[in-house]
Chain A
Amino acid sequence: MPVKPGMLTLAAGPRALALVLLLLAGVQLAWADDEDSQTGGAKFSAEAAATFNKRCTACHTFGKGIKVGPDLKGVTERRKRDWLVKFIHASSTVIKSGDTTAVSLFSEFKKQRMPDWTDLSEKQINDIIDFIAIGGPDIKPLDERNAELASSSDLELGRQLFSGERRLKYGFQPCSSCHSVQGARWGGSLGPDLTHTYFKFQDRALTEFLRHPCFQWERAGAGTHYLTAKEVFALKAFLRQAASRQSTHAELPGSPPHSVNAERVTSIATRAGMSRQTENRKGAAR
């Protein structure tokens, strides 16, 4: 029987199915990686970041001016990659070779030569350069991004996660099991109403808070995971929205915004209380 173009033969069937499954698995893996990514999509080697922090920050800053050596912010734009690789690997050799940039840097920085990192491979050095190129230490974990930056899809995700319409990745119970937020689904009342939590605790403290479980929940094979960075950010954004809505309703015309008041009045007091609560929860989780 002649095979028409586009027709799936019996022999090709299982192969095609396997290919589709493989592609789906790939998509799933990529998604899982994004879900757990703490860096808001910026990909870099964790080893490179660690090496950078261990070896480079002793003499260099990133965007804070000269320390012992030059500021590394923008170094990937000022210098060619090949040159950087060579210089990081063995600066003494490059200086001895009479390279004008290397020699001028050597004299500019009081003839203090950078150590030769000959133990680092070319790949490791390239990874460090990549890390610097995409922002280096300025890269913020996804969940540490300010909730103001949340898109409408983040807010919707936060609402769904809070109410339990969408399951949390590691199988923990939704916030609405114990908490409620004005304007959302009728939540639980074991824990406090979380409507004003965002302004009470501020963005950063709330991020830290959401990284730890409320109770010593039964861990459904989740290991040390609790919420993904994406989930933390979405929940934080949802709580910010809830607090903003409420403060907009509560404010009188002409009065300063609630968020400003909250920031001024409660930032110091609540941070102390917050860290205490966080410690308590960490203790409970232990």
Chain B
Amino acid sequence: MKIDFLFVASPYIAFSLLLVGIGVRYFLDRRQMATARKEMAEAWSQLGGGTVWRVSLLLLVTAHLLGVVFPRAILWWSGNTSRLYLLEGAGLIVGVSTLVCWCILLWRHLGHSSGGLITELSDTVFLALLFVGLLSGVLTAILYRWGSVWGSVTLAPYMASLVRAKPAANLASQMPFLVRLHVFSAFAALAVFPLTRLAAFVILVLNWALALLGGAFASTTRVLEAWLRKHNPGAWLWPEED
């Protein structure tokens, strides 16, 4: 039952909350993008951190995504001992630097409240989950060597099974506690994300993308209308009598 909730239901609940949350926030904020921009600026000043934080976080997320999407490529890479050590070593360095940056970031902004209670609370929960994810990830890399290999044959197929809507929970539930914590904290962070100030970034991107789509649609309609006026199929069908 517990396993079913943690590794079967919770990923879908988290993803649904993410989609619904972002959708609701966009619906509420769509006419006041200035507020979203302000919120975004606040989030950036408080959580944007330095270059090292941003780059290492981006590298971590990208590496995890690549590992899930291309497990065979990762296995091929790790098939060679030197490349395996390089990947695992680099991963550990990036993980540790992200964790250190997170601590510095939180220390700087501790007690600097600038938002409402819900936003502050959700920001705190999100950051706490991020911390749990980072710490469990770093400890996993230290205690359970060669995560790039065993992760590619256990966790990547587990994620693929979630996408295929046939969750193979035992692939994740057989893992040590730290690995399970790492996976679960990622799902929980996804669920909380729409309530944080960082979600404003997604709202702005969504608004920009929709505006772009709307613009493209409008210009296509204009071009089509002009073409129809010029060629006027009605005139061919019903030519005016002299």
Contacts and interface: CB of A to CB of B under 8 A. Distances in A.
A178 B150 contact: yes
Contacts of A189: 143-146
A215 B143 contact: no
A38 B149 CA distance: 29
B144 A215 contact: no
B174 interface: yes
B136 to A, nearest CB: 14
A216 interface: yes
Contact of A178 (B146, B156, B168): B146
Interface residues of A, number: 17
B168 to A, nearest CB: 7
B127 interface: no
B211 to A, nearest CB: 42
Contact of A217 (B81, B147, B153): B153
B97 interface: no
A164 interface: yes
B153 A173 contact: yes
B174 A190 contact: no
B154 interface: yes
Contacts of B174: 215, 284
Interface in B118-164: 143-147, 149-150, 153-154, 156-157
A147 to B, nearest CB: 26
Given A173-B75, A190-B144, A216 B168 contact: yes
A126 interface: no
Question: What does DSSP make chain A's interface, helix, strand, loop or mixed?
Answer: loop
Given A164-B79, A173-B75, A218-B157, A188 B150 contact: yes
B170 A190 contact: no
A215 B146 contact: no
Contact of B146 (A177, A216, A217, A284): A177
Interface string A177-196: 11010000111111000000
A178 B145 CA distance: 7
B77 to A, nearest CB: 13
A187 B168 CA distance: 27
A286 to B, nearest CB: 9
Nearest to B75: A173
A216 B150 contact: no
A216 B157 CA distance: 10
B176 interface: yes
B171 interface: yes
Contacts of A177: 146, 149-150, 153
B145 A187 contact: yes
Interface string A225-246: 0000000000000000000000
A-B complex: 9 closest residue pairs judged by Cβ atoms: A188-B146, A177-B149, A190-B144, A189-B145, A188-B145, A218-B157, A190-B150, A178-B150, A217-B153
29 contacts: A164-B81, A173-B153, A176-B146, A177-B146, A177-B153, A178-B150, A180-B145, A186-B145, A187-B145, A187-B146, A188-B144, A188-B150, A189-B145, A189-B146, A190-B144, A190-B145, A190-B146, A190-B147, A190-B176, A215-B153, A215-B154, A215-B171, A216-B157, A216-B170, A216-B171, A217-B154, A218-B71, A218-B157, A284-B170
